[in-house]
């Protein structure tokens, strides 16, 4: 899978994504992540990409043209790669990170993990000229009901959540299947050695070696925990 991040702060995004599991997956070529600097597509000699909003108001807006040219450059690369591989041309999804979008969740991560290319557009200042958003954006996504200074951290959150679902990125392929949010349940509690720590003992059933009982206990714990912490999720358990 190929991630393309359109941003004014490419180093921020690349530094955040080149370590740990995602960094290793990139080295193994299970994924590629490129950050495209929108400023490289500025069309004036000062390389500015922002301007005052028509009608007045606080702050500056990112202009349409540099964003569009950066997008076109990415699309051209995608087209070339697909042509060389003898694949059909398809429209890539373009996600604009914004607090006005629909809220990101695990199901959307699973859906987007099936894409071959994903373009993520990070806004800054007071936003982006609406006209370019109308032309290129297929999905507007928020990572939660709070306002950040830009779309970079949300883009990194999305890349992390999606990339770990790409086959072979996690060492243990089953671990993505049985974790929080699968079936709308939170994960059960887990324990490792030693058997007793600060006077607290590991639940007996986990030491029993009886797999059916362990599975039953884990499901009960998941249901209990989801009811206590996320009753809204438990409502949906077994229904979707």
Q: Which of 170, 171, 169 is nearest to 31 (CA)?
A: 169
Q: What are phi and psi of 2, to 5 degrees?
A: -120, 120
CA dihedral 59, 63, 66, 67 (to 10 degrees): 90
Those residues whose C-beta lies under 8 Å from the C-beta of residue 207, and which sit 6 or more positions away, are 195
The reply on whether position 13 binds ligand ADE by CB under 6 A is: no
> CA 240, CA 62: separation in Å to the nearest integer?
40
Q: Which stretch binds ligand ADE (CB under 6 A): 7-15, 67-75, 77-85, 91-99?
A: 91-99
CB of 98 to ligand ADE, least distance (A): 5
Nearest to ligand ADE of 118, 169 (CB atom): 118
Nearest to ligand ADE of 42, 143 (CB atom): 143
Nearest to ligand ADE of 54, 146 (CB atom): 146
**Interaction pattern, residues 41-80, with ligand ADE; x per rule: CB under 6 A:** ----------------------------------------
Angstrom CA distances, 193 to 35, 47, 56, 82, 201, stand at 42, 57, 62, 49, 10
SS3 per-residue string spanning 23-65: HHHHHCCCCEEEEEEHHHHCCCCCCCCEECCCCCCCCCEECHH
CB of 150 to ligand ADE, least distance (A): 6
CB of 144 to ligand ADE, least distance (A): 5
CB of 106 to ligand ADE, least distance (A): 16
Among 97, 112, 161, 169, binds ligand ADE (CB under 6 A): 97
- The number of residues that bind ligand ADE (CB under 6 A) is 11
Q: Which of 81, 5, 6 is nearest to 38 (CA)?
A: 6
CB of 57 to ligand ADE, least distance (A): 17
Nearest to ligand ADE of 57, 144 (CB atom): 144
Nearest to ligand ADE of 7, 221 (CB atom): 7
Asked if 178 and 167 count as a contact pair (C-beta separation under 8 A), the reply is: no
3-state secondary structure of 202: coil
Asked if 140 and 119 count as a contact pair (C-beta separation under 8 A), the reply is: no
**Interaction pattern, residues 116-155, with ligand ADE; x per rule: CB under 6 A:** --------------------------xxx-xxx--x--x-
Among 7, 63, 92, 98, binds ligand ADE (CB under 6 A): 98
Q: Quote the DSSP letter at residue 128.
A: B
Residues in touch with ligand ADE (CB under 6 A) = 97-99, 142-144, 146-148, 151, 154
């Amino acid at each position: 899978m190929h991630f393309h991040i359109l941003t004014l702060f490419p180093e921020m995004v690349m530094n955040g994504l080149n370590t740990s599991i995602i960094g290793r997956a990139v080295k193994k070529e299970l994924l590629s992540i490129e950050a495209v600097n929108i400023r490289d597509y500025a069309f004036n000699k000062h390389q500015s990409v922002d301007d005052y909003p028509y009608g007045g108001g606080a702050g500056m807006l990112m202009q349409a043209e540099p964003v569009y040219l950066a997008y076109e450059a990415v699309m051209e690369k995608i087209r070339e790669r697909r042509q060389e591989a003898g694949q059909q041309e398809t429209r890539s999804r373009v996600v604009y990170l914004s607090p006005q979008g629909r809220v990101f969740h695990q199901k959307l991560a699973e859906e987007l993990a099936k894409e071959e290319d994903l373009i993520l557009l990070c806004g800054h200042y007071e936003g982006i000229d609406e006209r370019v958003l109308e032309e290129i954006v297929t999905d507007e996504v928020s990572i939660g009901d709070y306002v950040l200074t830009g779309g970079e951290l949300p883009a990194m959150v999305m890349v992390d959540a999606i990339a770990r679902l790409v086959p072979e990125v996690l060492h243990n392929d089953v671990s993505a299947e049985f974790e929080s949010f699968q079936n709308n349940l939170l994960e059960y509690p887990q324990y490792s050695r030693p058997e007793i720590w600060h006077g607290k003992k590991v639940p007996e059933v986990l030491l029993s070696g009886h797999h059916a009982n362990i599975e039953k206990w884990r499901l009960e714990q998941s249901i209990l925990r989801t009811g206590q912490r996320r009753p809204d999720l438990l409502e949906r358990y077994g229904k979707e």
